[in-house]
Amino acid sequence: MSKDFEVFSGGVAVITGAGSGIGAGLARRASELGMTVVVADISRPGAEQVAAEIRAAGGKAEAVVVDVSQPEALDHFAALVNERFGDVRLLINNAGIETIGYAWEIPAARWEATLNINIHGVVHGVRAFVPYMLKSGKEAWIGNLSSIGGFSVMPTQTAYVVTKHAVQAFSECLYLEMEMTKAPIHVSSIIPGMIKTGIFDAAAGAGEPEGATRHRTVMRELMAAHGMELADGAKIILEKIAAGEFWVSSQPEMTEQVTAGRIEFMRTQAAPTLAPQAKQLLGI
């Protein structure tokens, strides 16, 4: 039996942003493995559809509407999950949004939303759920969504990149805090290379400057042409989390390439430069 079936054959999985994309893929896979899935999303139709699909396939799932940008919403959510479902075995802080535009052109509200969803959503997800996990004393797994963007920089994806660097650092510290306190909680940093989802769809771009449209189109086309299929990505991610790996890359070769560039940048302490592929992507 593979490790993911062994580790996640039962228990409760809580996945934020599970109403579409990677979160939905992980929710379906967690159910296939045997878990009861709490499908959390800000979009009620999205969460309900994914939960209904899982139930129709014979699994156990419930939709819950949660806005991860609100710390108190995550407190209520954790209390509700504890009361209704009991101990959480797997928590994936996945909800995230892309924001495109020059740093000074992104409206303040869009900056706030990006930082609050992508960083604070993860931080307060952990803050709200970990005390319950510790109280139960049972083994549990937490995966936080970083990105290849957590190890690289890209002009016009500044807001997004900032959040992913922050989440990467947060997960590394959290891992060490669990080790220091001998908590039975495993922490993984999930690093999707490129998995086919709707993250670059125009609808997700509300509040962005006008210039974002071109970049979104290029990224959407790139994702359609080269992205990994959602089900494949979800399977790899849960296999690696179950194996207790901290680095959970969907496409390890992409992670290696990007981190190698970052190491070289730091070693040489040169000024930031763009790789030819990045220039092409940005149309410069």
Ligand X SMILES: NC(=O)c1ccc[n+]([C@@H]2O[C@H](COP(=O)([O-])OP(=O)(O)OC[C@H]3O[C@@H](n4cnc5c(N)ncnc54)[C@H](O)[C@@H]3O)[C@@H](O)[C@H]2O)c1
| 67 counts as binding ligand X under rule CB under 6 A | yes
- Binding residue (CB under 6 A) for ligand X from 38, 51, 64, 66: 66
Taking the least distance from each CB to ligand X, the nearer of 1 and 108 is 108
C-alpha 3 chain-centroid distance: 22
Binds ligand X by CB under 6 A, chosen from 31, 36, 69, 158: 69
Cα–Cα nearest to 149, from 188, 211, 97, 111 = 97
Interaction of residue 90 with ligand X, rule CB under 6 A: no
Closer Cβ to ligand X, 11 or 149, answer by number: 149
For residue 205, state whether it binds ligand X (rule: CB under 6 A).
no
* Contacts by 75-84, CB closer than 8 A, 24 or more apart: 75/124, 75/128, 77/40, 77/128, 78/128, 78/129, 78/132, 81/12, 81/14, 81/38, 81/129, 81/132, 82/132
Asked whether 172 and 189 are in contact (CB, 8 A), the reply is yes
Q: Does 189 bind ligand X (CB under 6 A)?
A: no
Helix 121-136 vs helix 158-180: angle between axes, to the nearest 10 degrees?
A: 20
78 near ligand X, rule: CB under 6 A: no
Query: Which lies closer to ligand X via its Cβ, residue 179 or residue 229?
Result: 229
Please list the residues that pair with 61 across neighbouring strands.
37
Shortest Å, Cβ 46 to ligand X:
5
Per CB under 6 A, contacts with ligand X among 129-158 are 145, 147
Q: How far apart are CA 119 and CA 140, in angstroms?
A: 21
C-beta closer to ligand X: residue 41 or 239: 41
Q: Is 102 an annotated catalytic residue? A: no
Write the burial class of residue 173 (CB in 10 Å: 0-12 exposed, 13-18 middle, 19+ buried).
exposed
CA 152/CA 206 separation, integer angstroms: 25
Q: Taking CB under 6 A as the criterion, which residues in 26-55 touch ligand X?
A: 41-43, 46
Diameter of the chain measured on Cα atoms: 55
Contact between 231 and ligand X by CB under 6 A: the answer reads no
**Interface residues for ligand X in 242-281 (CB under 6 A)?**
none
Q: Determine which residue in the list 158, 188, 197, 251 makes contact with ligand X, applying CB under 6 A.
A: 197
> Could you tell me the smallest distance in angstroms from the CB atom of residue 29 to ligand X?
13
The one among 199, 212, 242, 258 contacting ligand X by CB under 6 A: 199
198, containing H or E segment: none
How far is the C-alpha of 16 from the C-alpha of 93, rounded, in Å? 6
192 lies in the binding site for ligand X (CB under 6 A): yes
Sites of contact with ligand X (CB under 6 A): 16-17, 19-23, 41-43, 46, 66-69, 94-97, 117, 145, 147, 192, 194-195, 197-199, 204
Residues assigned a catalytic role = 160
